[in-house]
Homo-oligomer: A and B are copies of this chain.
């Protein structure tokens, strides 16, 4: 699950810890999402969007079939 969370987070000058606190999740969850190792829920995706001022399409859209990340 590739995404642009890290880019967007850095753009608004937040650490993983700060983003996590604003959203109400743990830093580990943010870390794993940024590394593409989690398949986050819609609600969490939306909360991230609200906090970094982006839309779902800007941060989480990936073209069909272009997800190179592992299936595990």
Contacts and interface: CB of A to CB of B under 8 A. Distances in A.
Interface of A: 1, 39-43, 45-46, 50, 55-57, 60-62, 64
Copies of this chain present in the complex amount to: 2
Shortest beta-carbon contacts, A-B, top 8? A56-B56, A50-B64, A57-B57, A39-B43, A39-B41, A55-B57, A56-B57, A40-B42
A16 B49 CA distance: 29
Contacts of A45: 42, 45
21 contacts: A1-B43, A39-B42, A39-B43, A40-B41, A40-B42, A41-B41, A41-B42, A42-B42, A42-B45, A42-B60, A45-B45, A46-B60, A46-B61, A46-B62, A46-B64, A55-B56, A55-B57, A56-B56, A56-B57, A56-B60, A56-B61
